[in-house]
Amino acid sequence: MTTNTKNPPIDRIDGRMKVTGGAQYFADFELPNTAYCVIVGSEIAKGTIAGLDTKKAQGAPGVLGVFTHQNMPPIPGWDAPVGGEADGPPPRPKGEQYRILSSPKIHFDGQPIAIVVADSFERATYAASLVKATYTKQTARTDLRKHVSDGVAPRGEDGGNYSRGQADGYKTAPVTLEANYTVPIEVHNPMELHGILAHWTGASTLMIYAKTQGVNATQQAMAEAFKIDPKNIHVHTEFMGGGFGMGLRTWPQETAVVAIARKIGRPLKLVVNRSQMFTLVGHRPYTVQTINMGADQTGKLIGIAHAATAETASYEDFTEATVNMTKFLYACPNVSTRYRIVRLDRSVPIWMRGPGEATGAFALESAMDEMAHKLNLDPIEFRLRNYTETDPERNRPYSSKYLKEAYQRGAEAIGWNNRKLQPGSTREGDWLVGYGMSTGTFNAFRWEASARALLKADGSLTIQSAVTDIGPGTGTALTMIAHNVLGVPMNRIKVEYGDTSLPKAPTQGGSAIVSAVGSAVFDACTSVKNELIELALKAGGPLAGRQANELTMADGTLSVEREPGKKVAVSDLMQANKLTVIDKTKDSKGGPEHAKYSMYSFSVHFVQVRVNPLTGVVRVSKAVSVADSGRIVSPKTAASQMIGGVAGGIGMALTEEAVIDHRFGRFVNNNLGDYHVAVYADVPAIETIMIDKPDPIINPMGAKGMGEIALIGFAAAVANAVFNATGQRVRDLPITPDKLLRAV
């Protein structure tokens, strides 16, 4: 494989299977004798269960058991209380869950208070409705805005504390800006509901079908919870109907289902309902941010201070990298950041696509636009005046950075020269038109991963890795990488994934899978290729006397580049050596040179909006998103990734907000009718542009990540465009009509 050539766009290898119903998602699996369970959630956000009446439920048809804190089977790995109380409030170490159904204490609205098991889903649902609880209520703190001053540094972390130069150096600048930004609770809301199917195949052997972004992670979590050897736990998640981060950990209810399945001695399936998706599987945390910025008249940044305060649960600290990009995105001598959490009576958040960086980028990139306006500068020009070729946070080079080119190509594609510097000056009929842009960036990771390549004498190739495909087209990208190394035609390559019986892989997340698992596939295929070359070159071999670097491999044939006709078919070579298969497994990780570089992907988002000043309605009428993601391994699925991220970005910018009535600590829009994800009519044609230049450092494909940068920054681009259209600055997402009308 050479990173110098662009890859052709190929169709998603599992596309046909998915649209014809052939792909099996966790809930599609049916096992004989399966029982079904339904979770009953708390109706209060804080307090204690005073009474729990389960009699009626127990007597309902088909019911096999009603499990509460009074009779929950023990979870062996949870027997030793970790600090504090068994079920939870601080201090608990990061990543430790509250212990489900272990005490009558309520820590958040929707907290499971009973799990009802029956012989059918419908009967379990009915019986669950018969469980009645009474509570001793306490006042719940659920409103972050009221408790910002309670913010503390997360346990065991520096709280994002960072500074270079003078922490408040911005104050000395001739032009300054202070602004507060809010990102509300957002919920991943993938189409597929969360759940698990657990089956004890023996006293200590377990089969699990789950909705997880990492089968190995689920395997490990269950091994710890049940104190059994991970080898005896088989987890299968080949496909996921959208994850966006909610499957990045094992949730307590999954562990509970496994425990109950063991107790009742039957396979047990849980599929939560839509409103439970708002409380049991995490969310993007409500976050308030303040940016202070100072610049001189020439448009040079003097200082930035970025402070973020986010909600977490009372029982666990969740943190994310909300303030990180401020440290390195622009050349600026004085930078300080701070990150605080407030422990509320809420369920714990989890990363949601773009995670903290998307939240942080909304603040930073809105502020950059506000400052550009103050300086009377074009926002791209302002960014270019503060462009940096080296990472100012760590004082080292970027492994690759083509952000300048991204600005330029995106500007051309959107027609940036139609943008007027003066807000509110373009009108089309009843509508005001505006343009906005923003930058996004996210770490380019290369985690450890392993993969196996099996080349058969018939010329077919099988690639294996435990990685789950949460939707980006992982299998397709891996096919392309294997094809590039071994020259096996794409229709002869089979990728097997999403199962712990396959070589270990990291959890699908962090935009890291093409880099991590792709590298392992590259290495495994390279190892196969090396063996073939060795066979061809050895004394008496068909290409004896040539050098390895003279050989090319394509279409199942090894040939000598400068000797036309001098070649050998791989199948002949293997048969001659009595080989039916060449089977290589490789563990793969980045080398020590990685430490010398800062590795990031970059994106630039451009939008054109139309705003109706009479109704406050905002329509994104055009979107162009440019990715500097290194070499693009699979252009078609990469473009789809980008389009999906932008659609999510439109939701974040204009419609998505999970609303709590703080008097009750409960959501008032916990369904897909009232929680507004962007629908097709909200999403215009999206143009995606790939810089598609290889990163020379990160991995052999030269590929950086794509999933997060597709969304990071997009909401700011919309807010900036709305400002350009109307002169109104909305700093609290989402930008709904009422906010623009109120501002009039």
Partner 1 sequence: MNPFQFTRVTTPKAAISAITKERGTYFLAGGTNLIDLMKREVIIPERLVDINKLPLATIEKTATGLRIGATAKNSTVADNELVKKHFPLLSQALNAGASAQLRNMATVGGNMMQRTRCPYFYDTSMPCNKRSPVQAGVDKGQANGPSGCGAIGGHNRMHAIFGASGKCIAVHPSDMCIALVALDATVNVSGPKGDRTIPFIDFHRLPGDLPQKDNTLQPGELIMWVDLPTNRFADNSHYLKVRDRASYAFALVSVGVGLDIKRNTIQDVRLAMGGVAHKPWRLTAAEEFLKGKPATEANFKQAAALAMQGAKGYGENDFKLTLAPNTIVNALKTATKTA
Judged by CB under 8 A, which of 129, 134, 491, 575 binds partner 1?
Answer: 129
- Among residue numbers 33 through 52, which ones bind partner 1 (CB under 8 A)? 43
Provide, rounded to whole angstroms, the least separation between the CB of residue 679 and partner 1: 5
Options 20-28, 279-287, 417-425, 660-668: segment touching partner 1 (CB under 8 A): 660-668
Complex with partner 1: residue 434 or 651, whichever CB lies closer: 651
Options 87-95, 572-580, 622-630, 659-667: segment touching partner 1 (CB under 8 A): 659-667
Provide, rounded to whole angstroms, the least separation between the CB of residue 665 and partner 1: 11
Judged by CB under 8 A, which of 198, 678, 697, 698 binds partner 1?
Answer: 678
Q: What mask of x and - would describe binding to partner 1 in positions 606 to 625, judged by CB under 8 A?
A: ------x-xxxx-x------
- Among residue numbers 202 through 221, which ones bind partner 1 (CB under 8 A)? none
Judged by CB under 8 A, which of 199, 236, 666, 693 binds partner 1?
Answer: 666
Provide, rounded to whole angstroms, the least separation between the CB of residue 742 and partner 1: 6
SS3 assignment for 39-106: EEECCCCCEEEEEEECHHHHHCCCEEEEECCCCCCCCHHHCCCCCCCCCCCCCCCCCCCCCCCCCCEE
Strands laid side by side in the 301-313 sheet: 162-164, 334-344, 301-313, 287-295, 175-183
Judged by CB under 8 A, which of 10, 682, 727, 732 binds partner 1?
Answer: 682
CA distance 393 to 559: 48
Options 20-28, 76-84, 349-357, 652-660: segment touching partner 1 (CB under 8 A): 652-660
Other beta carbons within 10 Å of 435: 24
The residue assigned the tokens 């990180």 is 324
Provide, rounded to whole angstroms, the least separation between the CB of residue 614 and partner 1: 4
Complex with partner 1: residue 122 or 593, whichever CB lies closer: 122
Rule CB under 8 A: is residue 668 a binding residue for partner 1?
A: yes
DSSP bridge pairs for 432: 427, 611
Options 363-371, 409-417, 539-547, 657-665: segment touching partner 1 (CB under 8 A): 657-665
Complex with partner 1: residue 195 or 694, whichever CB lies closer: 195
DSSP bridge pairs for 619: 610
Options 31-39, 336-344, 564-572, 679-687: segment touching partner 1 (CB under 8 A): 679-687
CA distance 151 to 410: 39
Rule CB under 8 A: is residue 673 a binding residue for partner 1?
A: yes
Backbone phi and psi for residue 337, each to the nearest 5 degrees, phi listed first: -135, 155
Options 123-131, 184-192, 433-441, 715-723: segment touching partner 1 (CB under 8 A): 123-131
Complex with partner 1: residue 125 or 176, whichever CB lies closer: 125
Q: Which two tokens stand for residue 95?
A: 């990543």
DSSP bridge pairs for 452: 464, 585
Provide, rounded to whole angstroms, the least separation between the CB of residue 659 and partner 1: 6
- Among residue numbers 401 through 430, which ones bind partner 1 (CB under 8 A)? 429-430
Complex with partner 1: residue 79 or 738, whichever CB lies closer: 738
Distance of CA 205 to the CA centre of its chain: 31
Q: Does the annotation mark 708 as catalytic?
A: yes
- Among residue numbers 481 through 540, which ones bind partner 1 (CB under 8 A)? none
* Candidates 186, 320, 357, 708; catalytic one: 708
Distance of CA 675 to the CA centre of its chain: 20
H or E, element range at 132:
strand 132-137
Options 342-350, 563-571, 634-642, 674-682: segment touching partner 1 (CB under 8 A): 674-682
Distance of CA 133 to the CA centre of its chain: 36
E strands within 618-661?
618-628, 660-661
- 670 contacts 658 by C-beta, under 8 angstroms: yes
Number of amino acids touching partner 1 (CB under 8 A): 36
* Contacts of 378 by beta carbon, 8 Å cutoff, 6+ apart: 372, 419, 421
The count of residues in the chain is 744
H or E, element range at 432:
strand 431-443
Complex with partner 1: residue 61 or 93, whichever CB lies closer: 61
Closest CA relative to residue 269, chosen from 577, 15, 26, 503: 26
Provide, rounded to whole angstroms, the least separation between the CB of residue 430 and partner 1: 6
Provide, rounded to whole angstroms, the least separation between the CB of residue 334 and partner 1: 40
- Whole-angstrom distance between the N-terminal and C-terminal Cα of the chain? 58
Judged by CB under 8 A, which of 125, 166, 232, 621 binds partner 1?
Answer: 125
Q: How far is CA 671 from CA 126, 209, 675, in A?
A: 20, 25, 6
Angle (CA) 2 534 583, round 5°: 80
- Strand, helix or coil at 719? helix
Tell me which amino acid residue 601 is: S
Q: Which two tokens stand for residue 626?
A: 């440019």
Rule CB under 8 A: is residue 663 a binding residue for partner 1?
A: yes
Q: What mask of x and - would describe binding to partner 1 in positions 166 to 205, judged by CB under 8 A?
A: ----------------------------------------
Provide, rounded to whole angstroms, the least separation between the CB of residue 307 and partner 1: 28
DSSP per position, 676-695: -PPPGGG---EEEEE-----
Provide, rounded to whole angstroms, the least separation between the CB of residue 661 and partner 1: 5
Complex with partner 1: residue 130 or 485, whichever CB lies closer: 130
H or E, element range at 513:
helix 513-537
Q: Which residues bind partner 1 (CB under 8 A)?
A: 43, 122, 125-126, 129, 429-430, 612, 614-617, 619, 654-655, 659, 661, 663-664, 666, 668-669, 673-674, 676, 678-682, 736-738, 741-742, 744
Q: Which residues are catalytic?
A: 708
